[in-house]
Amino acid sequence: LTKEDKASTTQTQQTLNQKRSDLAVIKERIQTQRDALERLTQQRAQTTKEMANVADKIKLFNSDEMMGKDAFEKLKEQIQQQEHVRQNLNQQLSEIKQQRKDLNEKIEINESQLQKCHQDILSIENHYQDIKAKQSKLDVLINHAIDHLNDTYQLTVERARMEYDSDETIDNLRKKVKLTKMSIDELGPVNLNA
């Protein structure tokens, strides 16, 4: 396996690990946002309940059951207070709705990122498997070459490197072999019995 292939395998493994880590972070973030959304939903239900209670009180205050000037003034003051409470509750409800909307948008974005992470991990794993398959093929080719070197020339790889060390490139050596073969072919068949 060449240094480039080993580096590519290591890089792919590191990228895969990073994507898995990113995936865990996004999942945790989505869960936190879902918990916040649940809290906001409960808070909204409580606010709606309180608003209904205020509306009932206002209705009671406006009914004919309450009589007398003092009672009327007292009720008027209570109505104003309850109207103020209702306005505050409406404001809170609007804020909760906006927060819920924002959270839903964040959840959608994070789920989209989560999907992309899944796809990236799948792609990296496929690439990693391709590299492993190429590595296996290279191992087989190297073993065949070692066997050929041993069977044909009775040499080990180490001995061949020591005895035939060359600074020439593989392409130049291939050209030399090709030219040598052509020269032998030009000589024609050799009579071994002569």
% of the chain residues with pLDDT over 90: 11
Residue bearing the bigger pLDDT, 188 or 13: 13
Check whether 67 has a pLDDT greater than 60. no
Kindly list the distances between the CA atom of residue 56 and the CA atoms of 86, 141, 165, in Å, as whole numbers in the listed order: 12, 87, 99
C-alpha 147/C-alpha 60 separation (Å) is 101
> Taking residues 164-187, what's their average pLDDT?
82
Half-sphere exposure of 139 (CA within 13 A, CB side): 7
pLDDT digits (tens, 9 = 90+) for 73-118: 777 888 899 889 889 888 988 888 898 899 889 889 888 888 888 8
Cα 78 to Cα 70: distance, rounded to the nearest angstrom: 12
Per-residue pLDDT of 117-146, as tens digits, reads 889 888 888 998 998 999 999 999 999 999
Distance CA 161, CA 181 (A): 23
Q: What is the pTM of this model?
A: 0.45
pLDDT surpassing 80 at residue 178 = yes
CATH class of 3-154: mainly alpha
Mean pLDDT across the chain, nearest whole number?
83
Sequence-ordered alpha helix ranges (H) in the chain? 3-61, 69-153, 157-163, 170-187
Q: Of 32, 192, 6, which is closest to residue 110 (Cα–Cα)?
A: 32
